[in-house]
Chains A and B, each alone.
Chain A
Amino acid sequence: AQSVTQLDSHVSVSEGTPVLLRCNYSSSYSPSLFWYVQHPNKGLQLLLKYTSAATLVKGINGFEAEFKKSETSFHLTKPSAHMSDAAEYFCVVSARTGGSNYKLTFGKGTLLTVNP
């Protein structure tokens, strides 16, 4: 079984300040982990992914995430928020469900608000 917990449903930051969106996962197998972003009325877009290579993963738009196995965490960070970062962010875990099948499990999402 696998699951994802996003610890904050809403995060509000000021423009130019750091962003931290927290995610903890649970998986029976070695997981792959993703962060997706969803802007209003747009499709989900991949920000970054971890697939058992480097534990610090760099993504698009200045975002990065660090895989910490001991803490079962995969928090998303950005040094300086921009107004265009305001969106819903989803942490996702992918793991084998049997045979050659994989399943993606999404967290409930964190709404990021950026204040001017």
Chain B
Amino acid sequence: NAGVTQTPKFQVLKTGQSMTLQCAQDMNHNSMYWYRQDPGMGLRLIYYSASEGTTDKGEVPNGYNVSRLNKREFSLRLESAAPSQTSVYFCASSEEGGPSSYEQYFGPGTRLTVT
């Protein structure tokens, strides 16, 4: 099993450009998450999807949109990139219910630079 995969691994954008970060999981998890990680700020939740067909805002949703394409895939879109969105982006998934509730499995990250 691959677990959680993310593409691309690295990306450089110019201010105003758009792009979509892709995430897929093969663990049949219901919940999926997008985080950004910046030095000194820890992991901050952008959006999450508790189940297929639902999405909710996290702590820092402005400037981002998400799509839960199916149970496996959860994408993050930057419509008009800004330098403040330079960060490392992580996708994660988890199962709900039982002793493993909320235990999250993370992808390897996408390192995005906006110039």
- Asked if A and B are interacting partners, one says no
CB within 8 Å of A: which residues of B? Answer: none
